[in-house]
């Protein structure tokens, strides 16, 4: 039980103050500020016993863990979706469509560009129907991003399961135990 002292306001109301507020100021409900007397003078004011309300922690450990794991699960899901959606598309063409595309591409080149393209691609690789280096790069990049997306989704799922287990199975710890453990 905390002792409160009643300080009278000019409006007629009493404002409850505590000893640690001595020398400061308080605001009445009417809006006027009143100086709190010194500690010696505050002890001469009328007193009222006031039961202190039990202080409750803002967050329990359980709530913090569930929030953290929920945030990890949400972030993992979002990261996985972004990785999946930003993976490059690879356009697969039939051999006939590829020949038409190459023919249109080559006809649009100047002689110098045609020579450099031949040096960069055909001379080293030969005239084959293999996928171009760009297609191989895009396929590899797409596979890598999809693997990362799967990994982030697995992490999100594990975090969500652990959060659910903590939320449902772990009892809350509070500062006020009705039956403290017995010491032997």
Q: What is the mean pLDDT of residues 149-173?
A: 86
pLDDT band at 127 (very low <50, low <70, confident <90, very high): low
- Mean pLDDT confidence for 77-106: 78
pTM of the predicted protein model: 0.45
pLDDT of residue 79: 93
Assess whether pLDDT exceeds 50 at residue 178.
Answer: no
Highest mean pLDDT among 37-41, 49-53, 133-137: 37-41
Q: Which two tokens stand for residue 6?
A: 């009643």
DSSP string across 122-146? IHHH-S--SPPHHHHHHHHHHHHHH
Averaged pLDDT, 63-90: 89
Quickly list H helices, the chain. Answer: 39-42, 61-86, 95-107, 111-117, 123-125, 133-169
Q: How far apart are alpha carbons 4 and 45 in whole angstroms?
A: 9
* pLDDT digit string, tens, across residues 8-28: 888 888 888 888 888 888 888
């Amino acid at each position: 039980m905390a002792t409160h002292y009643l300080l009278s306001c000019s409006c007629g109301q009493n404002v409850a103050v505590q000893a640690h507020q001595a020398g400061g100021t308080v605001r009445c409900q009417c809006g006027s500020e009143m100086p709190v007397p010194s500690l010696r003078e505050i002890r001469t004011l009328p007193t009222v016993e006031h039961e202190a309300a039990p202080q409750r922690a803002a967050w329990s450990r359980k709530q913090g863990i569930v929030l953290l794991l929920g945030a990890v699960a949400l972030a993992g899901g979002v990261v996985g979706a972004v990785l999946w959606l930003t993976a490059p598309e690879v356009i697969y063409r039939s051999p006939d469509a590829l020949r038409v595309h190459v023919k249109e591409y080559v006809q649009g080149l100047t002689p110098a560009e045609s020579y450099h393209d031949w040096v960069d691609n055909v001379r080293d690789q030969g005239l084959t129907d293999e996928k171009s280096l760009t297609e191989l790069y895009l396929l590899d990049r797409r596979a890598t991003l999809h693997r990362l997306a799967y990994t982030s989704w697995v992490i999100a799922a594990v975090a969500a399961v652990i959060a659910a287990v903590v939320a449902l199975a772990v009892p809350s710890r509070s500062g006020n135990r009705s039956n403290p453990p017995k010491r032997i």
